[in-house]
Amino acid sequence: MKKAVNDIDRCVACGVCARQCPREAISIYKGCYAKVDFSKCVGCGLCEKACPAGSINVSEVGNVSK
């Protein structure tokens, strides 16, 4: 299943993704960056589309090695 992966170096912690997520899978960790709870994320891609910084990528977790 696809999951949302956040590039914390690009994330500006605006919280837009967290408000978009229908599963409440995203929280802003210590006010610094968006953290995705993979156990809740269903890979819908809404956060990726909404992120103004382009820091979220939704992809198969098996392929996320970078």
CB of 28 to ligand SF4, least distance (A): 6
CB of 29 to ligand SF4, least distance (A): 10
Residue 5 is a binding residue for ligand SF4 (CB under 6 A): no
Residue 36 φ then ψ, to 5°: -100, 130
Rounded to whole angstroms, the Cα distance separating 47 from 56 reads 7
Geometric angle at alpha carbon 22, from 1 and 34, rounded to 5°: 80
Which residues of the shown chain bind ligand SF4 in the complex (CB under 6 A)?
Answer: 4, 6, 11-17, 20-21, 23, 25-26, 34, 36, 41-47, 50-51, 53, 55-56, 58
